[in-house]
Amino acid sequence: MSKKNRRCHECGIGKVVPQARKGRFARYKTMPKLEIPADLPIPTCDNCGAEWLDEKTTQALDTALDNAFRTALRERAVKAIKKITSHISQRKLESLLGLSHGYISKLRTGGKNPSAELVSQLALISRDPDQRILELEKFWETL
Ligand SMILES: [Zn+2]
């Protein structure tokens, strides 16, 4: 930061210094509580803890949250897929969801990033795979 030892305008006592730590969260897209990467420095008051986001920090935070969001989506997708594919084959799941053959394998190995929409579908199906799969099959069969 260019301005060193900036005084905090919130409490008027502390100094605003870049701080990187665990346990900070932000709302991002579908996730109300996404952890901000522990190594991302955010100008923070050393007295009251108020965070002061300048333009550079805001950009870095947005990039970091976007990466964390994509990682979280893939992890959730893989977890749901694991549960669902103990009930039906990966190929059949791809077919029911209109995914191309091999998509799920690519997703599992990190070669694809699932959309929030797809992860939502997988989440709902994984709650009760047998029932949801039956419903989907019936839905697609219906004229
Ligand atoms: Zn302060």
Dist. CA 47–CA 70, nearest whole Å = 34
| CA triple 108-61-111, angle to 5 deg | 15
Q: So what's the pLDDT on residue 143? A: 87
pLDDT, residue 62, reads 96
In single-letter form, the type of residue at position 66 comes to: D
Q: Ligand 1: distance of its center to the CA of 8 in Å?
A: 5
Question: Is the residue at 116 inside a domain?
Answer: yes
Distance 41 CA to ligand 1 centre (A): 17
Which domain range does residue 68 map to?
10-141
In the beta sheet, which residues pair with residue 42?
19
Q: What is the average pLDDT across 75-102?
A: 96
Instruction: With a cut of 60, say whether residue 57 has pLDDT above it.
Output: yes
The answer as to whether 5 is a domain residue is: no
Confidence of residue 3 (pLDDT cuts 50, 70, 90): low
What spacing in Å lies between the alpha carbon of 52 and ligand 1's midpoint? 10
Question: Is 1 part of any domain?
Answer: no
CA of 5 to the centre of ligand 1 (A): 12
CA distances from 27 to 21, 36, 96, 135 (A): 17, 10, 32, 33
Say if 3 falls within a structural domain.
no
In tens, the pLDDT along 6-46 reads 899 999 999 999 999 999 999 999 999 999 999 999 999 99
Any domain includes 2: no
Distance 94 CA to ligand 1 centre (A): 52
Ligand 1 centroid, distance to 50 Cα (angstroms): 6
Please provide the DSSP assignment of 12-61 as one string: SSSEEEEE--S--EEEETTEEEEEPPTT--EEEETTT--B---HHHHHHH
How does pLDDT run across 110-140, given as a tens digit for each residue?
889 999 999 999 999 999 999 999 999 999 9
* % the chain with pLDDT above 70: 97
Q: What is the model's pLDDT at position 110?
A: 87
pLDDT of amino acid 2: 47
In a domain, 60, yes or no: yes
Structural domain count of the chain: 1
Q: Is 25 left (phi over 0), alpha (psi -120 to 50) or beta?
A: beta
Q: How far is the CA of 55 from the centre of ligand 1 (A)?
A: 19
Distance CA 49, CA 135 (A): 50
Residue 19 alpha carbon to ligand 1 centre in Å: 13
